[in-house]
Every structure is written in structure tokens, then in C-alpha cells.
């Protein structure tokens, strides 16, 4: 099972597009990617989840960890997600209140 990543710089935003299933096996790779971005100086990170087929609590934990790390650098993490089954996971866990979630990368990077 593969997790795919694509990184794209859009103005002051670094867009990390994730593809595949984020679970206990693959989530460590997402964590590494996020840590890498922060250590390279990307502090405004957009995580595009439109290509994600599955996201579990381990994946949520990695995103929350990334958000905390970015905030400690006065940065932020913005999510792009319109898939109902992925949004549902954020809703159940109350994380829609923690993340700002946008419909498109354009709108996420418009700020």
C-alpha cells in the first residue's frame, strides 16, 4: 500500500497533496513529510486530502501533530477536503473546529 505525495509552492503556501490510504502503516510517512516541510522553513502548509481514499485516527493524529508543530513556528495548516467520508472523520472527532477546511487549493491559498 503506497502513500503518494506531491509538493507545490504557491506564493507563501506550500501545498502537500496526499494520495492513497493514511493508516497506522502509512501515517509515519505523512508525519515525516510534514516534519521535513517545517524544517525546510515551510510554515504555511496546505494539505490537500482530495486524493486520500482512507483516513483513520492515526492519520488525524499526524495532522494534529503537524498543526501544533506549525503553530509553534507561528505557522498554520489548512486542509483541502470535500469528500464526505473523509470530512465525516473530522466531524465525529470535533476536528472541524480545529482545522480550517477548504473546498479547493485555490481557496485555501487565497488568504
Partner 1 sequence: MAAAGEAVRPLGWDEADVELEIPARAEYVSLARLVVSSLASSRRDLADDRIDDLKLAVSEACTNAIEAYEPAGEERVVLHWRDEQDRLEVDVQDHGPGFDPSTLPERPSVADPMRPNYERGLGVPLMRALVDEVEFASSDDGTSVIMILFCPPVTPDGE
Interface residues toward partner 1, by CB under 8 A: 1, 21, 23-25, 54, 56-58, 60-62, 64-65, 67-68, 84-85, 88-89, 92-95, 97-98
What is the nearest approach in angstroms of partner 1 to the Cβ of residue 79? 13
Helix (H) or strand (E) holding 47, with range, is: strand 44-55
Contact between 99 and 63 (Cβ < 8 Å): yes
Cβ proximity to partner 1: between 26 and 105 the closer is: 26
Cβ proximity to partner 1: between 10 and 23 the closer is: 23
* Nearest alpha-carbon partner for 15 in 47, 38, 62: 47
What is the nearest approach in angstroms of partner 1 to the Cβ of residue 5? 15
Q: Where are the alpha helices (DSSP H) in the chain?
A: 27-39, 57-71, 84-92, 105-108
Cβ proximity to partner 1: between 10 and 93 the closer is: 93
What is the nearest approach in angstroms of partner 1 to the Cβ of residue 14? 21
Cβ proximity to partner 1: between 73 and 104 the closer is: 73
What is the nearest approach in angstroms of partner 1 to the Cβ of residue 99? 9
Contact between 66 and 45 (Cβ < 8 Å): yes
- The C-alpha cell at 86 is 473523509
Chain centroid, CA 77 distance in Å: 7
Amino acid at each position: 500500500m503506497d502513500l503518494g505525495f506531491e509538493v507545490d509552492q504557491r506564493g507563501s503556501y506550500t501545498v502537500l497533496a496526499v494520495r492513497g490510504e493514511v493508516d497506522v502503516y502509512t501515517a509515519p510517512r505523512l508525519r515525516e513529510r510534514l516534519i521535513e516541510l517545517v524544517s525546510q522553513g515551510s510554515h504555511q502548509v496546505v494539505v490537500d486530502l482530495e486524493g486520500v481514499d482512507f483516513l483513520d485516527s492515526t492519520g488525524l493524529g499526524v495532522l494534529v501533530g503537524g498543526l501544533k508543530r506549525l503553530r509553534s513556528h507561528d505557522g498554520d495548516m489548512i486542509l483541502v477536503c470535500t469528500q464526505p467520508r473523509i470530512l465525516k472523520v473530522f466531524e465525529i472527532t470535533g476536528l472541524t473546529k480545529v482545522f480550517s477546511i477548504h473546498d479547493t487549493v485555490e481557496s485555501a491559498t487565497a488568504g
